[in-house]
Amino acid sequence: MPKIIYPQEDEPSIVLQQQMGGTILQASLCMGLTHYHACDGQARCTTCRVRVIAGLENLSPRNEAEQKIATVKNWSPEVRLACQTQILGDVTLRRLVSDDEDFDLVCSESLAGGSGYERNVAVMFCDIANFTDFTTKHLPYDVIHLLNRYYKEIGQGILQHHGYIDKYMGDGIMVVFGLEQESAAENCRNAILASLEMGERIKVLNKYSSKHFFHDFQMRIGLHYGTVIVGEIGHPSKRQLTVLGDVVNIASRIENENKSLKTTILASQELLAPIKNEVRCGKQHTTQLRGQQRQHTLYEVLALNSR
């Protein structure tokens, strides 16, 4: 009979046996191994998920129910539902839900693909130049009111070009382009189009703010492209989809470079590569960004050639 092996740290591996064609979950339950299975094998809860360490070829292919979940959650081929997967030979596995805390976390995951996967995206950081100065000279009500008018204006430009507003940080905003998996060129073009549109929209805001507050807003935008980890994070009472990784840090540093270069929109070479001939650039600057080992070449974005 095929063996199912669960290696354990500091203890001998757990070895179960299963009939050919029986599922991984059936083997666990028959042998009294704790194996979470909140939906009783209906391919709905995903608490029975395992990671295949060796012997992937000795498992049945994903059935329709499992494939549906794996697609939504962007699982790699090694992550399998124990209740749906039949054993055809020896395998080595790890249970991915190993205690009640894991169980609660998995149960509170949405089915919107928030459980952790990689994706190539364009990341934008944008903030308002000298906003602290504005906050010290105006009433709290006016500061929040103006900030919300600002976010409403630039938000339209972002949404119009398929950006996902990841987070607000006071007068700063982080936006991601490409969570819906368009091509690299589409993601990068959308990031540029949104940046230019935001520049137009801030002119509209400035008509209002200069009239009522004698103040003109100026934005700084940093853009970078690369691979990030996408997932929902946070306390179960307030969890949100976000992206993590060095690409995010670099985009933030690029935004900051606008201060010394006196530019408004700066994009990395990586972001411009898929659409380079489409973008009209100004200054070019090669620098070692704070916290980075290698040099980055940045370009001031002026316009799209087609506009």
List helix spans (H) across the chain.
24-30, 64-73, 100-108, 131-137, 140-160, 184-213, 246-261, 269-272
Tell which positions 26-85 bind ligand FES, by CB under 6 A: 37-39, 41-48, 81, 83
Terminal CA-CA length for the chain: 67
User: Is 242 a residue that touches ligand FES (CB under 6 A)?
Assistant: no
Binding mask 119-158 for ligand FES (x = CB under 6 A): ----------------------------------------
Pairing of strands 219-233, 265-268: parallel
- List all residues 6 or more positions away from 183 whose beta carbon is below 8 Å from its beta carbon: 274
Query: Residue 29 Cβ, how far from ligand FES at the closest point, in Å?
Result: 10
Tokens standing for residue 129: 């130049």
Between 25 and 188, CB nearer to ligand FES: 25
User: What's the closest the beta carbon of residue 75 comes to ligand FES, in angstroms?
Assistant: 12
Nearer Cβ to ligand FES (51/119): 51
Of residues 83-102, which lie at the interface with ligand FES (CB under 6 A)? 83
Residue closer to ligand FES by CB (options 50, 266) is: 50
Could you tell me how many residues of this chain bind ligand FES (CB under 6 A)? 13
One-letter identity of residue 252:
S
Q: Shortest Cβ distance from residue 69 to ligand FES (Å)?
A: 7
- CB 48, min distance to ligand FES, A: 3
* Residue closer to ligand FES (CB basis): 108 or 288: 108
Tell me the DSSP string of 33-83: -----TTSSSSSS-TTEEEEEE-GGGBPPP-HHHHHHHHHHT--TTEEETT
Nearer to ligand FES, 39 or 144 (CB): 39
Do 34 and 46 touch, CB atoms closer than 8 A?
no
Cβ atoms of 60 and 25 closer than 8 Å? no
Geometric angle at alpha carbon 34, from 31 and 35, rounded to 5° = 100
* Pick 106 or 221: Cβ nearer ligand FES: 106
Give least dist CB 118 to ligand FES, A.
23
**Of 43 and 129, which has the nearer Cβ to ligand FES?**
43
286 vs 85: CA distance, rounded Å: 52
Q: Which residues bind ligand FES (CB under 6 A)?
A: 37-39, 41-48, 81, 83
